[in-house]
Structure 1
């Protein structure tokens, strides 16, 4: 018998949860066998044969996103910390189509004008969708607004953390319609399309991220038919390895493929060059920047 997840608990882990089980008891849905071992008297809503497609594998437990992020709730910057994606040892299964939540809704049904991947000397971390100024943008999944502010490059931007641990980013808005800490449903308006920030035309810049690391939204979304490609997404070391050659997933300077460093307070080009055993001139060459470039906290610079 499997357990139906409540809203807010839409992802699965294959890790040992004994360290936080008691603290998160009221948020987690535990497999009956584990429930007996822990001698809990909490009532559980169990699936029956009538639930059909709602069936969830018996070896899964559901973990709320605040456990995933260790309760890190930064309302200023997209990245909440550094994740060693290349050294990830525990696999995480995200439930994208949760029957206990509102169904996925495409943020804006417009033409895809720029894909995820390298763009000249820069890396484009999302998908650009053509629209007209004032067009309504909606949330892709249920979640809570973590960021709603103007950010360099993104312009007026909204970041939503979803209950399965995924985060979605909506940039270049002309107007923000939600507030920080506001709960939103899939399909609920969150902003109006525009051209704020670094943009050459009116469009929506849309990103998908997991624990701060961006990945290709095309892995889970069909941008031609505006639907989900899969009901689940397995996040593992192999997942990051498959995109490492085309995206800046390695943040510690190790592993094959391009290496990137995330700018932190106090960083300078010379300090970064010393750390990675290179020169300022080389950093400027591979990033297409000048030695006088202002380094903004939270952005990335290629180091190898």
Structure 2
């Protein structure tokens, strides 16, 4: 049976009205969304806050997640300055000493060894050279595990490090595992937190079997104990940590003793202190030298000389006041 012209027009109008009603109902459902919470995502080392809505339709939340991820390249951190043959891919970059902030999605890390962690040598100045990591005791053949989830960037021999694995993590941080006897991962492998990545050993320039562990960000070595608490709780010291010049300068620490850890979390406060420094006065004691005072306050001898208008080889007197910014 065929519809005449009038009935066909009426049917089309009814369909249009029905379609408009459905669209209006869907719009009304979306317009009544209630903000419930936020979820922190780390994308390319940046912190992104994902809104979580209480709604009637689950696909709305899925759409929000998709839109958020589409705006950022989640794998970008694994593309920039990525090399499987160069240990430090940032070597061409100028070493910026300004503070920077790191965000951690995890609250704990996985122990790199399967027994109690015993630090035998710390980050700092050692035998006239910078020791840019910490040494953790182990026996040859012991399992070595990844501190965090990430992607293997480097798995090969490197100078005094011997057999070395470098893993880059979602926030751009890299962890280095050296003196290994065997690799159990290869370049571009995705590894989970706590996954076995190799066997401990004495390869490279090692005095006895141990794991040499470094933590790096954009080529800068960071004092590992400033970020990670190597006690049995294996806690990451904070979800947001500001790294200042002191914690990327081995000369400011001694490998034979543990540094006093005071974690900074507010980068604006730190930046303000740098831009608006307050004068500090040091009173010279018996046995003090310009080099010793400079090391103690993490400044250059040339800076002290310039501020105080004294010479590099000036004799210091007990009781003399030295201005240090």
Instruction: Please say if 1:224 is aligned against 2:212.
Output: no
After superposition, the C-alpha distances for 1:255-292 in whole angstroms (9 at most, x for unaligned) are 94499xxxxxxxxxxxxxxxxxxxxxxxxxxxxxxxxx
Structure 1: segments with no counterpart, 5+ residues: 14-27, 33-40, 47-61, 249-254, 260-304
Flag the structure with larger Rg. 2
C-alpha contact 1:113 1:130 (8 A) present in aligned 2: yes
Q: SS of 1:227's equivalent?
A: coil
- Could you state the TM-score of these two structures normalised by the residue count of structure 2? 0.55
C-alpha separation in 1, matches of 2:247 and 2:101: 17
Distance 1:79 1:178, change over 3 A: same
Q: SS of 2:244's equivalent?
A: helix
Q: CA deviation at 1:177?
A: 0.5
> Where in structure 2 are the equivalents of 1:96-245 lying within 5 Å?
96-97=105-106, 104-108=109-113, 109=115, 110-225=117-232, 227-235=234-242, 239-243=243-247
C-alpha contact 2:77 2:171 (8 A) present in aligned 1: no
Structure 2: segments with no counterpart, 5+ residues: 1-36, 53-60, 253-297, 303-325
> Where in structure 2 are the equivalents of 1:266-281 lying within 5 Å?
none
RMSD value over aligned CA atoms? 3.3
Q: CA deviation at 1:185?
A: 0.2
C-alpha separation in 2, matches of 1:258 and 1:217: 27
Distance 1:245 1:229, change over 3 A: same
With a CA cutoff of 8 Å and minimum separation of 6, indicate the structure with the bigger relative contact order. Answer: 1
Q: SS of 1:85's equivalent?
A: coil
1:252 paired residue number: none
2:96 paired residue number: 85
Q: CA deviation at 1:31?
A: 5.8
1:273 paired residue number: none
Residue among 38, 43, 50 paired with 1:2? 38
C-alpha separation in 1, matches of 2:74 and 2:206: 32
C-alpha contact 1:245 1:258 (8 A) present in aligned 2: no
- Could you state the TM-score of these two structures normalised by the residue count of structure 1? 0.59
Structure (1 or 2) with the greater helix fraction = 2
After superposition, the C-alpha distances for 1:200-233 in whole angstroms (9 at most, x for unaligned) are 1000000111111111110122223251242424
Distance 1:3 1:222, change over 3 A: closer
Distance 1:104 1:29, change over 3 A: same
Aligned residues: 206
C-alpha separation in 2, matches of 1:63 and 1:166: 18
